[in-house]
Chains A and B, each alone.
Chain A
Amino acid sequence: MGEPMIRSSMTRRQFGARVLRAGWWSLALTGIAAAWASVRFFWPRTSYTPPTRFLAGRPEDYGPGEVSLRYLESHRVWVVRGDGGIFAIVARCSHLGCRPNWFAEERRFKCPCHGSNFDAEGRVIAGPAPRPLKRAAVSLTPEGQILVDSADQAEHADAVRDPSFLVPLAEGPRRPSAEAHGRARDEGAAASEASFSGHRWKGDLA
């Protein structure tokens, strides 16, 4: 007799549909989360490589014209003392990224992969390299140590104009006079070559 009494505003069927929809949605969201997790998995939060900021001794540790290989294995940079001061060259060929070798006798970097040559400032002399070698930022700590930041890199052209890519040689008694500097440079070059004799390459002695 008459209508059946409905206490809820929702039919059993509607309720079922809603539960089912919620089920599908949570399944889809789980799927998306799983996909995200499977991709994110491949980007670890830590890589066990030496820190990009490191101390590289004092300016006096470098002889005039020295291209130091001391931080090459550990941090992939050459610390160089040029005319204007100390700078750091990133040890990564501007062609396709191999690591060039420093040939002290010829004062050149030569890349083993496709033969690019660079001078001690990192400028291209020969080969397919399209640009000079990059530089890493250098600064002097209050204690007088050289701080290299190999994560802060710049193209050669920008770096030579930017003071944060050069540690000028210290003023005062440590700095040789202009002529003495010239002399020191020659001696220093000879000395730095001698210090590299251990790194000579067989093919290079001829």
Chain B
Amino acid sequence: MSGIGERIRNGQLWKSIFRVGIPSDRRSRLQVILHNFFLHLHPTRVARSGLKMTYTFCLGGISAFLFILLTITGVFLMFYYVPEVGRAYSDMKDIGFVVPFGRVMRALHRWAAHGMVITVILHMLRVALTGSYKPPREFNWVIGVSLLVLTLLLSFTGYLLPWDQLAFWAITVGTNMAAAVPVAGHDGPFHEVAGVAVDNDVRYALLGGIEVGPNALIRFYVLHCVALPLIAVVLMGVHFWRVRKDGGISRPL
């Protein structure tokens, strides 16, 4: 058997994919990380203190894992869900009752979403408590804040999609908060000076109309399934790359 393994690993096919063989020393271990697209985002070496479970609690890593899980389960849900006022709710019911494993898929998506909000916040807390936001890592803290906002926006936009009473009124209330923003919202202070009214404020742009309706559903769907995940992926790439460039995981002083 080991003969077959050997033959495969020495074959042209294998070698064309994996340039570095089984790592045997420091140098080849480093090369494995450097030469792999997925691993190269990671620092080639991590200080022993950074590997300690109780330092990072892997909270950023869990957040990233949950994001991947959400992307995969989300794509599955997209095969059945149609963001149309007359269909959305019954599509959710179909996913729950007639699609094999549909309920598992939806539950995974929903629980992972709740989980990601929690782990991202805890990750931020960890970074704050270990003082890892200090130079040279200030900019990564800023990227992190953007990722937190994106995580919350993903939750918010996803919440409308089931199109049930909870979704409808939650988004009504949520977008009314946008209407209370100074100047840019029609219910906010100083809106008169900019000539802002119900039909041209930020809430109007968010909903594509003056109330939560079909336009709001398609807007939230596109934001939730395309726009926000794309931005999040780019920012996560920068986030991980900065961890590497800023000298790996911070060390306890």
Give the A-binding residues of B (Cβ under 8 A): 165, 169, 172-173, 176-177, 179, 198-200, 204-205, 208-211, 213, 215
Contact = CB atoms under 8 A, between A and B. Distances in A.
Interface string A97-136: 1110000000000001100000000000000000000000
Contacts of B176: 96-97
Contacts of B209: 44, 47-49
A48 B208 CA distance: 10
A35 interface: no
B223 to A, nearest CB: 11
A98 B169 contact: yes
24 contacts: A42-B205, A43-B200, A43-B205, A44-B208, A47-B204, A47-B208, A47-B215, A48-B209, A49-B209, A49-B211, A49-B213, A76-B211, A96-B172, A96-B176, A96-B177, A97-B172, A97-B179, A98-B169, A98-B172, A99-B172, A112-B165, A113-B169, A113-B173, A151-B198
A119 to B, nearest CB: 22
B211 A96 contact: no
Q: Which 8 A-B pairs have the closest CB atoms?
A: A97-B176, A47-B209, A96-B173, A42-B205, A98-B169, A43-B205, A113-B169, A96-B176
Chain B CB count within 10 A is highest, among A42, A47, A48, A112, for: A47
A47 B169 CA distance: 20
Interface residues of A, number: 14
Nearest to B198: A151
A47 B172 contact: no
B207 to A, nearest CB: 9
Contact of B204 (A43, A98, A99, A112): A43
A101 B12 CA distance: 72
